[in-house]
Structure 1
Amino acid sequence: VQDQATVDEAALMALGARGLIRPSATALQVVLGPIADVVAVEGALAGVTAAPGLAVGPVGWLRATDCDVPAEGCGIAAEEAAFDAARHDLANALTARARIAHGAERAIVEAHAAMLDDPALLAATRHGIARGASAAAAWRAAIRPQGEALRATGDARLAERADDMRDLERQLIARLMGLETTAPVFAPGTILLADDLLPSQLLGLDTATIAGIAVERGGPTSHVAILAATLGLPALVAIGPALRDVAEGTRVILDASEALLHLDPPHEKIAAAEARIAAIAARRADALARGHAPCHTRDGQRIEVFANLGSVADATLAMANGAEGSGLLRTEFLFLERETAPDVAEQTADYQAIADTLAGRPLIIRLLDIGGDKPAPYLPIPAEENPALGLRGIRVGLARPEILEDQLRAILSVRPVEQCKIMVPMIASLDELRQVRTVLDRLCAELGRTDRVPLGVMVETPAAAITADLLAREADFLSIGTNDLTQYALAMDRGNASVASALDGLHPAVLRLIGETCRGGAAHGRWTGVCGGLASDPLAVPILIGLGVTELSAAPAVVPDIKAMVAGLTLPAARAHAQAALACSSAAQVRRLAREFAA
């Protein structure tokens, strides 16, 4: 899974790291793609899928309000002391939580800790205290405008980061005011409803009692959405004010995969949903039991099923789930959230640890994909009007050759030498690939490597897809990043909430680009894989195989399900299905066709 699709990349990384999959949100459902054809259903509320899945249970409300704080303080010295003590207490709590957290949860907690040390926030708070405000009032006056400014940008992701600032505001004020932060207790199987939900609220709950989440506001790429996917909780957001009328204790069916919350459904509908949940769990258990065998279609076509990784924990889960290797190691985890770039030794150690965990299985390492929506403080990139079309991916590596060379040196140091392949992100021209190959060959000569190190490309731009035959003359393999390819093909920004619901990788235009890529690769005997979100989408997999894809790299937790699905396919049926999909007029029509094929 690459970048953000229906579920943020970090969520899927964390899902793999934690291995927390529930029957109500099985691995097979984790990445179903955006629901672009949601229609009104009587007795149901529609929202936006944040974490797919199915759950049945009674409603439990979590309501939170901002507490009143005194406007005036009890003296500058006293208020500063109180502020320092509360901040120190919260910092310690965040540090303690980060030590035991993993994946997305740890990243979120660390982000909160970093905000707590923000010099501008601290200076503004102390300025307010110096003018006579209470510490709580000064803190609120300092942090709230920053959150409002993020919302005012109109950027959906920045607006969702404003929720983190509101979360931090509440956490520190609670300590300043001496408020109890005991989390409410819900009965097992509760469908949690909230007008909005902050990360600390969800982390503070006993999530073992929560079967799913439905939120009036929020967004599909928020930290709460990430956490929900991490915890295996189906989640629906942006339902709107109608959610407020749902009474405590109302029995509901949360079908987050279909973006619907069914209110007080009849008994037979509940029974049918519970039967679906049980059947999904049974299929999942069977797939896991048979998941370690090499993957073939029913008529013998070899399809490699790999896993996307971002950590050693991901690799461990991938091996437990029968992955045949890694089709994508995201190396950004080493470069983000730090003040300086990792050196060669640090990178080598991390790559080697993951290679060791894979026990000799193939490891495809993607070169640093940074820039755009993933900035780093030590790689200053001037403000860009459209970062998605600016300095990102391999363009950053070519602009900063020391970063590229250090990473290549580290990869070349991994043993055994034949285990690693290298993949270049955001390729748009053959010249970019040639520049990387020139650097790689020079470093190999310096290190005394005489073997040809496999170098492949990520097909994420329409330019790369259309010229796949040219790229395949010199690239050793092609791997399609379907999320960025979809964004660029449909001219729809993944971070723009007004168009995100229509951003679907099963759009016929995207499928035609995938087919063109497979043809271009095959013309020169190169294999084509998919490491984007569609590789984990059960509706997409038969189409991908029918288009000529022979390698799928999915979220670690879904590997057994993807293998089981492939084992039930025949190549002629998949090819006919793919051709029918190419003839569809919309993504919604393709999804209807895919559901019929899967039935």
Structure 2
Amino acid sequence: ALIAQPGPGAGLPADGIPGVAAAPGIAIGTLHWWRETTPEPAEAGQGIAAEREALRAALAAIDAQLAHESEAATARRAGAEAGIFAMHRALLEDPALQAAAETMIAAGKSAGFAWREATRAEAAMLSAMADRRMAERAADLLDLGKRVLRALAPAGSAPVQLPAPAADGDVIVLAAGEFTPSDLTGLDRTRVAALVMARGGPTSHAAIIARQLGIPCLVALGSALERLQDGTPVIADGDSARLHACPDAHLLAAAASAVRLRAQQREADLRAAHAAASTRDGVPIEVAANIGSLDDARNAVAHGADAVGLLRTELLFLHGDAAPAAADHTASCQAIADALQGRSAIVRTLDIGADKDAAWLHLPAEDNPALGLRGVRLAQVRPQLLDDQLRGLLAVRASGPLRILLPMVSEVGELLAWRERIRALAAEAGTDPEIEVGVMIEVPSAALLADQLAEHADFFSIGTNDLTQYTLAIDRCQPELAARMDGLHPAVLRMIAATTEGAARHGRWVGVCGALAGDPLAVPVLVGLGVTELSVDAGLVPGVKARVRALSHADCRQRAGELLRLPSAAAVRDACRRYWPA
């Protein structure tokens, strides 16, 4: 398959069908429309006992399938994808859902009809709730319903039917209105080079799976995509968020050249990944990894990460049956610390809420969950939860520095209270009370008060995803606004500048752990604004290190100041392409 991996720019023209980039890279292939293959169940059953047994067998088969897919994703170190399948298993076991289907079977309905109606009714109820998390759960439930209906079909039903290859090496750009996780089950990576969708957003489960698989993905392409026919030759450009239909020979040659150059660059980056990264004028920049599991930690080491810049501890326990105890935190973090072989790790305390929900937490429904009980605010309703985590972290014995990162801090009083709590718990356990404590800068008030926070924090880590959301007043889970959710907006850059300036007054260092740190166009901007640590997905570490080595720190500082005066994110990106070309 002709696929180019992420880079600062493909050099392709800025025309074509505009969309939103959900997974980077460039792919050349033939468009093929995925078409729904979920069977239509008969309404009448063939006997209550037979239909009950059919439903039981189908649920068991899908549970085994989901377990296998979750294990396979974990083996590929695709933690986010594994989490999706684990969550679907939990939905499958919902006793209320199974009871609703059983009631309809008892009334004479077929297993397929009963299951479909039960899932539709539950999904409709969830969709009617104001909480966006529940609406997303409804989509997961409907997807799960499709899986079970396929299992109940007499001869089964394959979720994706691909045409026979026209020639050796023939690859497909798979298109749909919007994919769901079950649609992508068993996706043939040797045939499918990219995913393109008329609808959807970059945070959808299909987008997550595309990123884990390492294939380009474009969403929100709209009606222009829907007008394209099967067999149309296309170039899916996940870097510039464009789909080029019926490209001419010149454009095909440019894309193929980009693919070859990216492959060569990727190999060179991997060879140099374990060396430290410094700018051309000698300024060191630490390139760390964002992780959410033990496998992620091993993957970070394998890709040359200097450290772990963000351990998302909630991902370790999100799909469990109960709240983690102190011993659970100690065991999981100790294993990760051991796997890092002396590298430092920044451990973020549980950041549950907004778009991350844990069934065991029983959070109250919120009209605006992104503005509600998340991060350290959870202590207002579940103080024991964070106390247990802090006790667990303080018991870890790591050969490298272990630092605690507090999410959703908005003012100095919160930081002082948490520092005092950490000291008290350390004294109680007889451990080091001077463990480093940092603040995650993701709330605009924290960025604007960075000079005050820096007096009491040991470091800052900027979460650009949420900082962008809160600065621009755009819900990061809202697909219709996905194209405007750009961390290179000058208002967001001014927040970052305020953070680094405030930190510098007290000699504190600043890292970035949001998606912006892995954006090749943004790397020189962040370096120029005074960021000294970039934490990215492990697979991006080699490329980010290579990008840093090609930069002049002095030039980045000068140019970054100019960018703050530009009027839009698009203007910033255009300037970055001129200042720091690939």
What range describes the TM-score normalised by the shorter chain of this pair? over 0.9
Identical amino acids, percent of aligned pairs: 47
**What's the CA shift string for 1:250-301, capped at 9, x where partnerless?**
2111112222211111111101001011111211211111121111111011
- 2:73 paired residue number: 101
SS of residue paired to 2:3: coil
SS of residue paired to 1:501: helix
Q: 1:204 aligns with which of 186, 195, 200?
A: 186
Is the contact between residue 28 and residue 558 of structure 1 (CA under 8 Å) also seen in structure 2? no
Structure 2 counterpart of 1:26, one-letter code: Q
1:72 and 2:44 equivalent?
yes
Distance in structure 2 (CA, Å) of the matches to 1:562 and 1:432: 34
- 1:26 paired residue number: 5
Is the contact between residue 59 and residue 190 of structure 1 (CA under 8 Å) also seen in structure 2? yes
Q: What is the CA-CA distance between 1:153 and the residue it aligns to?
A: 5.2
- 1:340 paired residue number: 322
- 1:167 paired residue number: 143
Between stretches 545-554 and 57-66, larger displacement belongs to 57-66
- Name stretches of at least 5 consecutive residues in structure 1 with no aligned partner: 1-21, 33-37
1:469 and 2:451 equivalent?
yes
Is the contact between residue 6 and residue 25 of structure 2 (CA under 8 Å) also seen in structure 1? no
Structure 1 counterpart of 2:505, one-letter code: A
Structure 2 counterpart of 1:184, one-letter code: Q
Is the contact between residue 2 and residue 28 of structure 2 (CA under 8 Å) also seen in structure 1? no
Q: Alpha carbons of 1:50 and 1:159: their partners in 2 closer, same or farther (altered >3 Å)?
A: farther
- 2:243 paired residue number: 261
Structure 2 counterpart of 1:199, one-letter code: P
Distance in structure 2 (CA, Å) of the matches to 1:230 and 1:309: 13
**What's the CA shift string for 1:197-253, capped at 9, x where partnerless?**
231221222122211111233332221111111101111123234434423322111
Distance in structure 2 (CA, Å) of the matches to 1:451 and 1:87: 51
Is the contact between residue 527 and residue 550 of structure 1 (CA under 8 Å) also seen in structure 2? yes
Distance in structure 2 (CA, Å) of the matches to 1:112 and 1:87: 12
Structure 1 counterpart of 2:95, one-letter code: P
- 1:428 paired residue number: 410
TM-score (norm 2): 0.93
- 1:56 paired residue number: 28
Structure 2 counterpart of 1:324, one-letter code: D
- Name stretches of at least 5 consecutive residues in structure 2 with no aligned partner: none
**What's the CA shift string for 1:110-151, capped at 9, x where partnerless?**
222222111221121112112221111111111123334445
How does 1:184-203 map onto structure 2 within 5 Å?
184-185=161-162, 187=165, 188=169, 189-203=171-185
Q: What is the CA-CA distance between 1:154 and the residue it aligns to?
A: 7.5
1:544 and 2:544 equivalent?
no
Q: What is the CA-CA distance between 1:39 and the residue it aligns to?
A: 11
Structure 2 counterpart of 1:510, one-letter code: V
Q: 1:237 aligns with which of 202, 219, 225?
A: 219
SS of residue paired to 1:345: helix
TM-score (norm 1): 0.90
SS of residue paired to 2:410: coil
- 1:35 paired residue number: none
SS of residue paired to 2:254: helix
1:112 and 2:88 equivalent?
yes
- 1:310 paired residue number: 292
Structure 2 counterpart of 1:171, one-letter code: R
Q: What is the CA-CA distance between 1:90 and the residue it aligns to?
A: 2.1
Q: What is the CA-CA distance between 1:161 and the residue it aligns to?
A: 4.2
- 1:47 paired residue number: 19
Q: 2:343 aligns with which of 349, 361, 384?
A: 361
Distance in structure 2 (CA, Å) of the matches to 1:574 and 1:390: 37
Distance in structure 1 (CA, Å) of the matches to 2:340 and 2:399: 14
Structure 2 counterpart of 1:143, one-letter code: T
Structure 2 counterpart of 1:370, one-letter code: I
**What's the CA shift string for 1:474-524, capped at 9, x where partnerless?**
111111111111111111111223333211111111111111110111101
Distance in structure 1 (CA, Å) of the matches to 2:100 and 2:185: 28
Structure 2 counterpart of 1:213, one-letter code: L
Distance in structure 1 (CA, Å) of the matches to 2:420 and 2:314: 23
1:410 and 2:386 equivalent?
no
Is the contact between residue 196 and residue 218 of structure 2 (CA under 8 Å) also seen in structure 1? yes
Q: What is the CA-CA distance between 1:398 and the residue it aligns to?
A: 5.2
1:521 and 2:507 equivalent?
no
1:131 and 2:103 equivalent?
no
Distance in structure 2 (CA, Å) of the matches to 1:167 and 1:391: 28
Tell me: higher relative CO, structure 1 or 2? Use CA pairs within 8 A at least 6 residues apart: 1
1:146 and 2:122 equivalent?
yes
**What's the CA shift string for 1:166-205, capped at 9, x where partnerless?**
3222221222222333453453422112343231221222
- 2:230 paired residue number: 248
Is the contact between residue 71 and residue 133 of structure 1 (CA under 8 Å) also seen in structure 2? yes
SS of residue paired to 2:299: helix
Distance in structure 2 (CA, Å) of the matches to 1:288 and 1:525: 33
Q: 2:257 aligns with which of 275, 282, 288?
A: 275
Q: Alpha carbons of 1:220 and 1:418: their partners in 2 closer, same or farther (altered >3 Å)?
A: closer
Q: What is the CA-CA distance between 1:364 and the residue it aligns to?
A: 0.8
Q: 1:179 aligns with which of 135, 149, 155?
A: 155
